[in-house]
Amino acid sequence: MNPSIARDTSTPPSEQETAALHKQRLRTELLARRKALGEQDKIAADAIIGQRVLDWCATHAIHSLAVYQPIRREPDLSAAYNALAARGVHLCLPVVVDNDAALEFRAWQPGDPLQKDGMGTLVPPAGTTVVRPQALLIPCLGVNTAGYRLGYGGGFYDRTLAASPRPLAVGVCHSFGRVEFEAQAHDIPLDSIIFEDV
């Protein structure tokens, strides 16, 4: 056999590739932990997170907030959304308009009709008023000590937060989502993070 053919000439992964692979492994682990969370534990954690979201909004005088419809067992904060709406806070939901674009936000209040988009997420229908919220409530798979979020890898919230002027960004995350990873060039840190344990 020709030694030049047998030799492995592949180059080692770059720092960026290594960081991306590490984040992908963390995503798999954290999704499994979230899936394994007992139903009563999840209900209790969601209630605490929801109350802390209400407190955060009151402290920061939030009058316009982008919320989310939970997927993949993200914290269900529907009770908090009802309370915010009752306080007169204007809510909206994110909509993916293009895979490489920032999110669009459409006005929404609890009880308004929703439809599934191409990714299976519930969103307000086309034609709903588009708004620019004061703050974004962002679900996190994980977060690191520097306040960077680990999401599903699509980059939608990072592109949204890269716009100027940027809204406040508060993440919500289960306590087991505290992990360490290197932020990449496109990552943007959150302003605050809410957990159920502290």
Percent of the chain with pLDDT over 70: 95
Global pTM reads 0.88
Rounded Cα distance, 123 and 135, in Å = 18
- The encoded tokens of residue 149 equal 């979020």
- The encoded tokens of residue 104 equal 């669009």
Residue 36 — very low, low, confident or very high, per pLDDT cuts 50/70/90?
very high
State the residue for tokens 């969103």.
Answer: 123
Summarize pLDDT for 114-139 with one digit per residue, the tens. 999 887 889 999 999 999 999 999 99
Position 9 scores a pLDDT of: 54
Position 38 scores a pLDDT of: 95
Q: 117 versus 14: which is more confidently predicted? A: 117
State the residue for tokens 């809510």.
Answer: 91
Position 4 scores a pLDDT of: 47
Position 187 scores a pLDDT of: 86
* Res 104 pLDDT > 60: yes
Instruction: Look at residues 114, 189, 104, 119 and name the one whose alpha carbon lies nearest to residue 154.
Output: 119
Rounded Cα distance, 32 and 80, in Å = 26
* Res 3 pLDDT > 60: no
Residue 63 — very low, low, confident or very high, per pLDDT cuts 50/70/90?
very high
